[in-house]
Amino acid sequence: MLHSRKLLAAALSALLIGAVPARAEAPPDTFIQAWAIDDIISLDPAEIFEFTAAEIAGNTYERLIGYDPNDVSNIFGVIAESWQVAPDGKSISFTIREGRTFASGNPITAEDVVFSLVRAVKLDKSPAFILTQFGLNADNVEEMVVQTGDYSFDFKMDNAYAPTLVLYCLTSTVASVVDKKLAMEHEANGDFGYEWLKTAYAGSGPFTIREWRANEAVVLERNENFSGDKPAMARVIYRHIPEGATQRLLLEQGDIDIARDLGPTEIDALSSNPDIVIESGVKGAIYYLGLNQKNEYLSKPQVRQAMKYLIDYQAIADTIMKGTVQVHQAFLPKGFLGALEDTPFSLDVEKAKALLAEAGVPDGFTVTMDTRNTPDITGIAQAIQQTMAQAGIKLELIPGDGQQTLTKYRARNHDIYIGRWGPDYQDPHTNADTFARNPDNSDEAASKPLAWRNAWDIPEMTAEADAAVLEPDAGKRAEMYLALQRQHQEVSPFVIMFQEIEVIGRRKNVQGFVIGPSFDSNNYAGVTK
């Protein structure tokens, strides 16, 4: 075994040295992806809140509940076998499947599920709000999530929420089931194994996490104790290669199996290659600008609206982002209950100038924008910089990698942030909760949604979002979200621009990669070569 590990390490080194290494064709039992993975901050499912790590968790951990990526309304049990909603709607009783094991060989029981949910609430990292929105907190969670048997537990809530909302939340990364025994073997100072799990693994999914090298690679290995159909691939390797041109070359050479960051030029070039297949799928992710309301200029309502008229949305979608986005200007993505598809904004410099004059800044102003240094984000930022300048707004771009820009954004230390947001679960509240809800705008707030990150204090809109989540009638609920989005378009400090179309290029012999509606539902357990 040690000898084979050394051989694998040598092979990985050959694959990872240099931007374009000498031919190192992907082994038949190894699935190699090229992607920009510099957004990874943690591998602990209680903390994961980024695209790459969410996808990794979706292929290495299991959740209570799952859904069909081709029909998200089809919800089914994974760790959970069945569930029953109480007559008053304030609790759900779950029964856990018996006979399943973690990668460690430890059995999966209700104790592990309860531990995982309690752990996520008590650690209170970024995604904890997905659970705490149901009235759970560090003080009461052990009375709200209660084991009732070896393979059963109750999930209690403070209100009678729409059952589908609760179930969708339990499909999210933060609801991943963690091996309690293994995690607690690495506990330090009451941290539930947090410091260890930032870079380690304690799950039951089709793959295990072997290694993460920041801004270099992530290596997964087949979970031989997986309770479902075992993957054909012995290992999966993510290589950090953000440049689309380099990905194209490696894909053509056969050094990688799938390219994940291809730009329009690379997509066009590869489309005529008989050894390559181009695939795409509409994602729930949206591209937007976040305007920090702590900035004296950006806090002016007319300035916020002016900036929405200083972007050439269609030109960016047709050129820089050709084939990878569609123009979309509301916080709910197409495909969600109550999604607003109106696109009222287009490049209109004169209208923007009039709004700036109303705001008392007819000559414009200078402001910074934090920009992840990937080709797509950089390209969008530069295009926006040019059109904003036409009305006198001088954008100074501050480039950084994914982790740098996110960390600054989460601390509310930005002026403008150009970002991409993916839903955490398939219910409309997932985006309403972050774009249109901010229960506490103080710097010490427990909940820190996107509205908080941009210091947007909205008690009335927060109340409207809270009301929508309790409406049991789907039709009425959809109308509430439509009204909320129309209001949001008119007053918010968010310039929502595009909905993502994920495009991959794969070698023709690679089959079975599933492009899901969200990144944590992208799946490669069924990949064959």
Q: Give pLDDT tens digits for 303-333.
A: 999 999 999 999 999 999 999 999 999 999 9
Do 293 and 164 share a domain, yes or no?
no
Find how far residue 213's CA is from the centre of its chain: 20
Query: Is there a domain that residue 249 lies in?
Result: no
In the predicted model, is pLDDT for residue 153 greater than 50? Answer: yes
- The span from the CA of 152 to the CA of 220, in Å, is 31
Rounded mean pLDDT, 92-105: 98
- The stretch 12-40 carries a mean pLDDT of 74
**For tokens 């380690």, what's the residue?**
200
Q: What is the pLDDT of residue 24?
A: 61
Mean pLDDT across the stretch 49-74? Answer: 94
Domain assignment present for residue 276? The answer is no
The answer, yes or no, to whether residue 473 has pLDDT greater than 80, is yes
Q: Nearest Cα to 317, choosing from 376, 361, 359? A: 376
Of 514, 33, 502, 521, nearest to 241 by C-alpha is 33
Q: Is residue 205 part of a domain?
A: no
More confident residue, 24 or 199: 199
Q: 363-390, pLDDT tens digit by residue?
A: 999 999 999 999 999 999 999 999 999 9
The helix or strand, by DSSP H or E, that contains position 74, with its residue range, turns out to be strand 71-77
Q: Could you tell me if residue 528 is inside a domain?
A: no
448 with 138: CB under 8 angstroms?
no
- Model confidence pLDDT, tens digit, residues 438-470: 999 999 998 899 999 999 999 999 999 999 998
In a domain, 410, yes or no: yes
Query: Same domain for 181 and 68?
Result: yes
Give mean pLDDT, residues 344-371. 98
Mean pLDDT of 512-521: 93
Least confident of 16-30, 196-210, 343-357: 16-30
CA 230/CA 215 separation, integer angstroms: 29
- pLDDT the model gives residue 21: 45
* Judgement on whether residues 406 and 307 belong to the same structural domain of the protein: yes
User: Could you tell me the CATH number of the domain that includes residue 456?
Assistant: 3.10.105.10
Is the residue at 107 inside a domain? yes
Q: Within this chain, do residues 287 and 397 fall inside the same structural domain, yes or no?
A: yes
Beta strands in 157-275 (DSSP E): 207-213, 217-222, 235-240, 258-259
Identify the pLDDT of residue 118. 98
Average pLDDT over residues 224-236: 97
Say if residue 296 is in the same domain as residue 406.
Answer: yes
Give the C-alpha separation, 425 to 157, whole Å.
Answer: 18
Q: Is the pLDDT of residue 243 over 60?
A: yes
H or E element at residue 94: strand 91-96
Question: Is the confidence at residue 229, as pLDDT, over 50?
Answer: yes
Q: How confident is the model at residue 23 (pLDDT cuts 50, 70, 90)?
A: low
**pLDDT-above-70 percentage for the chain:** 95
Give the burial class of 508: count Cβ atoms within 10 A of its Cβ; 0-12 exposed, 13-18 middle, 19 or more buried.
Answer: exposed
Coil, strand or helix at 285: strand
pLDDT of residue 3: 42
pLDDT of residue 25: 75
Q: Give which of 495, 529, 527, 502 is closest to 513, Cα–Cα.
A: 527
pLDDT of residue 15: 55
Distance CA 436, CA 485 (A): 8
Q: What is the residue range of 359's domain?
A: 282-502
In a domain, 522, yes or no: no
> What is the rounded CA–CA span in Å between residue 372 and residue 420?
10
Mean pLDDT confidence for 391-398: 98
Q: Do 173 and 315 have their domain in common? A: no
Mean pLDDT of 276-300: 97
| The pLDDT of residue 10 is above 90 | no
Q: For residue 163, what is the domain's CATH number?
A: 3.90.76.10
Mean pLDDT of the chain: 94
Same domain, 366 and 488: yes
Structural domains of the chain, count: 2
**Band of residue 12 on the pLDDT scale cut at 50, 70, 90:** low
Is 179 part of any domain?
Answer: yes
Six token digits for residue 403: 């982790």
- Identify the pLDDT of residue 98: 97
